[in-house]
Every structure is written in structure tokens, then in C-alpha cells.
């Protein structure tokens, strides 16, 4: 077969082609990770990823369907074709990247620590907190858990299904600190944590966040990366800057 025929076959198999034929972009995300995907008071899913997904569907000329998916099954959902893309504040890790492909990063974050106010002054770093008398919480299966297990060899570690449950544990005093993505912690501190918790906001890790797609699909990746660059670098329209101001700066 000619190189040209190979290209046509690749395109026919591309998720991008399937999205266009279906007339709908299907996105897996797990709400609860502010400000990227979360539920408003009416239960609608909103956030930074959601606005990007809407714009993406608009530029493709298709409808958008958000599929709320539990974090521990989100990669499996993508790989088995339950959705076209994961847009869920997912950190590119080398382990995940063995199973799925990532578009270029759209934000860089890092893990930070929120802790009880009583520990102010006494605890200034992860090292100070790594003592058997302290309990550190995080969410199961996220990079926060990986970082927690790396930085805390002596403290007690408890994981929760949701970031909200983990944060409540520190608020109600059952745990001493929480490790999670910085943007979430910043928002938590401006709301429920205000005056109650202390934020050690120096990042413990370097974490590019990116949208994930199935492997072997250069056409879709090419579209996503060019879309992303246009959103980020087109200062005339200023889409990305607007979103950044809307969701990531208090």
C-alpha cells in the first residue's frame, strides 16, 4: 500500500474523524478538582477544563458531552473507548504516559501542603511534618498520593476517595495536613480554609497538566496541540488569558 493510503487509513481510525462523524465530543472528567472541574450549586459541571472543552467542541463544529468518571477508572475509560479524551487536570507522569498519550501541557502545578493553624511556625516544610505523631491525608491514586508517600516516611498517611473528604479531615482536626495540587489548595484556602488552615505554598513537585488521548492517533494530537497553541498564544482573542483570570487568579 502507498504512503498516501496509509495516511487515509490512519485518518479513518482517528478519534478526531469519529468525533466529526458522530457530531459529538465525549470528554471524561472527574468533578471535584477545583478550579478545573467541579459542580456548581445547581449540580452543573463547570471549570477551566469545561470551558476549554466547550471551545474545543465549538471549533470542531460538534456537540459536547461531559462524562463524569471516577478517577480510579478514568484511564481505563479512555483506553476502552468510553470517551474521546480525558480533560481532568491530569498530571503527565511517565507511568501514565506508557498507557496513554498527552497533548502539550496547558498548566504547570505542584503539590503543596495545607495544615492545621496550630502548627504555624512549628512546621515550615514537609521534613518538619514527617514525624510519627502527624497524620497527612491526600486523595487515592493521584500524584498527591505519590508525593505524600515519597516525602512522608514516618508520618501516618491516610488516603480518601475525594479531595473534599481529605480536606474536611484537616478542617475537622482529625488529620494534621493535606497534600494536594496547588490550585485546589489555593481555592480551598480562600474559602473553607480561610483563617483555619495554613498553606505551605512552596511546590514539592513539578507537574505539567495535559489532556490525554489514546495512543496511535497523531491526527487527533496534532489538532489538540494546534488548538492549544492558538488558545494560549493568540493575545488578540486572549482566550487562555481570560480563562486564567476567570478560574486561576482570585
Binding site for ligand ARG (CB under 6 A): 29-30, 32-33, 36-37, 71, 88-91, 142-143, 181
**Cα–Cα nearest to 118, from 192, 171, 166:** 171
Choose between 123 and 167: whose C-beta lies nearer to ligand ARG.
167
Is 93:143 a contact under the CB 8 Å cutoff? yes
Least distance (Å) from ligand ARG to the CB of residue 82? 16
Least distance (Å) from ligand ARG to the CB of residue 161? 10
- Looking at the DSSP bridge assignments, the partners of residue 46 are 38
Interhelix angle 48-60/15-22, nearest 10 degrees:
80
Choose between 36 and 160: whose C-beta lies nearer to ligand ARG.
36
Choose between 53 and 90: whose C-beta lies nearer to ligand ARG.
90
33-38: long-range pairs with CB below 8 Å, 24+:
33/88, 33/89, 33/163, 33/181, 33/184, 34/183, 34/184, 34/187, 34/188, 35/183, 35/184, 35/187, 35/247, 35/248, 36/88, 36/89, 36/183, 36/209, 36/247, 37/87, 37/88, 37/89
Choose between 48 and 119: whose C-beta lies nearer to ligand ARG.
48
Choose between 184 and 220: whose C-beta lies nearer to ligand ARG.
184
Least distance (Å) from ligand ARG to the CB of residue 138? 10
Least distance (Å) from ligand ARG to the CB of residue 121? 29
Least distance (Å) from ligand ARG to the CB of residue 66? 12
Amino acid at each position: 500500500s502507498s504512503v498516501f493510503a496509509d495516511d487515509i487509513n490512519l485518518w479513518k481510525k482517528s478519534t478526531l474523524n469519529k468525533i466529526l462523524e458522530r457530531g459529538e465530543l465525549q470528554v471524561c472528567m472527574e468533578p471535584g478538582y477545583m478550579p478545573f472541574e467541579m459542580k456548581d450549586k445547581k449540580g452543573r459541571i463547570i471549570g477551566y477544563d469545561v470551558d476549554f472543552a466547550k471551545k474545543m467542541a465549538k471549533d470542531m463544529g460538534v456537540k459536547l458531552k461531559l462524562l463524569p468518571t471516577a478517577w480510579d477508572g478514568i484511564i481505563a475509560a479512555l483506553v476502552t473507548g468510553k470517551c474521546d479524551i480525558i480533560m481532568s487536570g491530569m498530571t503527565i507522569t511517565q507511568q501514565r504516559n506508557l498507557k496513554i498519550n498527552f497533548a502539550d501541557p496547558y498548566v504547570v502545578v505542584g503539590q503543596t501542603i495545607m495544615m492545621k493553624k496550630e502548627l504555624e511556625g512549628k512546621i515550615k516544610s514537609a521534613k518538619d511534618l514527617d514525624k510519627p505523631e502527624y497524620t497527612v491525608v491526600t486523595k487515592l491514586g493521584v500524584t498527591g498520593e505519590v508525593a505524600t508517600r515519597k516525602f512522608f516516611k514516618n508520618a501516618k498517611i491516610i488516603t480518601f476517595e475525594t479531595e473534599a473528604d481529605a480536606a474536611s479531615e484537616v478542617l475537622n482536626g482529625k488529620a494534621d495536613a493535606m497534600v494536594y495540587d496547588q490550585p485546589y489548595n489555593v481555592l480551598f484556602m480562600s474559602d473553607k480554609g480561610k483563617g483555619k488552615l495554613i498553606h505551605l505554598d512552596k511546590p514539592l513537585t513539578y507537574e505539567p497538566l495535559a489532556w490525554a488521548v489514546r495512543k496511535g492517533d497523531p491526527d487527533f494530537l496534532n489538532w489538540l496541540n494546534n488548538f492549544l497553541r492558538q488558545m494560549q498564544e493568540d493575545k488578540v482573542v486572549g482566550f487562555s488569558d481570560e480563562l486564567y483570570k476567570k478560574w486561576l487568579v482570585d
